[in-house]
Amino acid sequence: MGIGLNEGGAGVVRFFLRRGAEVTATDLKPASLLKPTLRAINTYAKKLGIPKHSLRFVLGGHTKADFRKADLIIKGPGVPDSSPYLAIARKRDIPIATDMEIFFAECQAPIIGVTGSKGKSTTASLIAHILKKAGKKVVLAGNIGASCLDTLDLITPETRVVLELSSWQLEGLQNSKKSPHIAVITNVLKEHLNRYSNFTAYAKAKSLVCAFQKEDDYCIINKKADPLRPFLKKIKSRILFFPDSKKRNIPKVRNSALEGEHNLENIWATVLACRRAGIPDRVIKIGLNSYRGLPGRQERVAIVRGVAYYNDTTATMPDAAIAALKTLQPKPPASIILIAGGTDKKLDFKTLSREIVSTVRVLIFLPGNATDAMKMELRKIVMTRKKISVFDARTIGEAVRIACHSATKGDRVLLSPGAASFGLFQNEFDRGKQFVNSVRTLYARAK
């Protein structure tokens, strides 16, 4: 239930087809919006020789009869528990599970689970990178990269498993009461308030990463994550807080992919997790300094005529955009040209607006109700304190063209929206891909 455009839904379908089940894959989105996923599933089914009656799609809406007749329902992480279709299944005592619930039940190896409002992708991939440097066989999955169910057949008891876990995926572990052996919480910031009734409900979902840990497990948590403290009183595992204000006991890092205060916290979390996984500091240091970063996280795409272009599309909340503005601020007289805006998740844009006024020379807005909220906050600050040129762009390509015409040598063009990507793009990665393609087109013309 909920195929989606990421790997999770397709991974569920593939998993059950491999096990000989008859699968009905259903989504509220029409087929026209799910083409890449449908193509991948059909190609896989054909490769396996799956008979036609074993795979059925119901798209553009759900059918009540499917929820009355199923033997098992796998709920996608974006599907709310309050769905009336799930209520139909519950009335008939049809079991409802999630892909992560199945993964935890069948995984043979200890799991390192990483969650947080921001920084979880970098931290999870950095931990996996260091484990590989230590010569370990590593599986990195979850909310990053491969579907977790697609990796199960690759895992042995000696494998090191690293999962990036969203709050929605963590909610799927409540029924089975499972938590990873090492849980990492990078931070808890106001996020997804369009999905949760309040911040406390969101923080509670994040705390599930360690809620069912045992005495010999570890919970590594940012000491600034005050909203989690009431939930930590109930857990049984050993708790380790970071960062240390004196910056003691972590290896020196000279790596441009890990610049910025926010990455210092990611480094702290990574070091503590790797130490608990038995990795010596010598190897941890090698891994930290050889890590190349992830696409879409303050990623330098190109330098065109002396202007650097950065893709920070995963900045889907104001705090992430603020971190990018602080980290990538060039030396005067050069300045930042910011591409921002998108869909609002009921977040507060006051602090981001103040940072924009302090650091940005040219501001280019993408369409969306978050853009409207940002403009309202900027008007309150009164932008006459500092002259900012403001433009509206209908597409990412138009935004890049405006940025190109506005930039001078030494400037930095930064896509760091501070908002979600719904509506104009398939997801934030599609937004980043379109930005990168537009910049590369610009680069090709400049040669």
Instruction: Please name each of the domains of the chain with its CATH number.
Output: 7-97 (3.40.50.720), 100-290 (3.40.1190.10), 299-446 (3.90.190.20)
Which pLDDT score is estimated for 87? 96
Look at residue 246 in the predicted model and tell me its pLDDT: 58
In 266-344 the beta strands, taken as DSSP E runs, fall at 299-304, 307-311, 336-340
pLDDT (tens digit, 0 to 9) for every residue of the chain, 447 residues total? 888 777 788 999 999 999 999 999 999 999 988 888 999 999 999 999 999 899 999 999 999 999 999 999 999 988 888 899 999 999 999 999 999 999 999 999 999 999 999 999 999 999 999 999 999 999 999 988 778 999 999 999 999 999 999 999 999 898 889 999 999 999 998 777 677 888 899 999 999 999 999 999 999 999 998 889 899 888 999 999 998 755 567 888 988 888 888 899 999 999 999 999 999 999 999 999 999 999 999 999 999 999 999 999 999 999 999 999 999 999 989 999 999 999 988 888 999 999 999 999 999 999 998 999 999 998 887 655 567 899 999 999 999 999 999 999 999 999 999 998 887 888 899 999 999 999 999 888 876
**Environment class of 233 (CB within 10 Å of its CB; exposed 0-12, middle 13-18, buried 19+):** exposed
CA distance 184 to 125: 13
Q: Quote the pLDDT of residue 274.
A: 98
pLDDT of residue 245: 59
Residues of 121-135 as b/e, b for ≥16 C-beta within 10 angstroms? bbbbbbbbbbbebbe
Angle value at C-alpha 33, between 29 and 39, nearest 5 degrees: 110
Place of tokens 């491969």: 146
Coarse DSSP helix, strand, coil percentages of the chain, rounded to the nearest 5 percent: 45, 15, 40
Give the tokens for residue 294.
Answer: 């992830």
Asked whether 256 and 91 are in contact (CB, 8 A), the reply is no
- Other CB atoms closer than 10 Å to residue 442's CB: what's the count? 21
Distance CA 242, CA 305 (A): 41
User: What would the two tokens of residue 21 be?
Assistant: 């089940």
Q: What's residue 262's pLDDT?
A: 85
How far, in Å, CA of 314 to CA of 320, rounded?
8
